Amino acid sequence: MNERMWAIRGAAQADANDEDSILGATRALISELMERNELRPESFISVIFTCTDDLDAQFPAVAARELGFGEVPLLCNREMDVPGAMERVIRLLAHYHASADHSPQHVYLGETKKLRADLHSAQ
């Protein structure tokens, strides 16, 4: 089977700016992304997380490490602070290996579906 590198996007909204909410939203996002795309932590090359400015109680990467991403390079950044943008959002951009005929299923959970309503797989 031929493999290639893919990139995938996703987002989730934390209930509050606290450690449990940030880690819980991140775990749900990563778990759903892996399930929909039939991936394992070993499939990933790297993951970039962003958070809106109102989230600073914990790094999303902590949840990824808890899910087995110990050998995957992870990076946490700030999302652009755009007036009127959705609050408490954790986004990710992940690079991974999968079969050449794979079809990436982007994951937007809960209210973040509104961010990419154009993506059928975000629903």
Helices of type H across the chain: 19-37, 60-66
The reply to whether the predicted model has a pTM over 0.85 is yes
For the segment 30-69, what is each residue's pLDDT rounded down to a tens digit?
999 999 999 999 999 999 999 999 999 999 999 999 999 9
Q: How many CB atoms lie within 10 A of CB 109?
A: 17
In the prediction, which pLDDT does 120 show? 55
Range of the structural domain that residue 81 is part of: 3-122
In the prediction, which pLDDT does 1 show? 65
For the segment 58-112, what is each residue's pLDDT rounded down to a tens digit?
999 999 999 999 999 999 999 999 999 999 999 999 999 999 999 999 999 999 9
Number of domains in the chain: 1
In the prediction, which pLDDT does 70 show? 97
Cα 72 to Cα 120: distance, rounded to the nearest angstrom: 28
Q: What CATH number has the domain bearing residue 80?
A: 3.30.1330.40
Cα 55 to Cα 15: distance, rounded to the nearest angstrom: 10
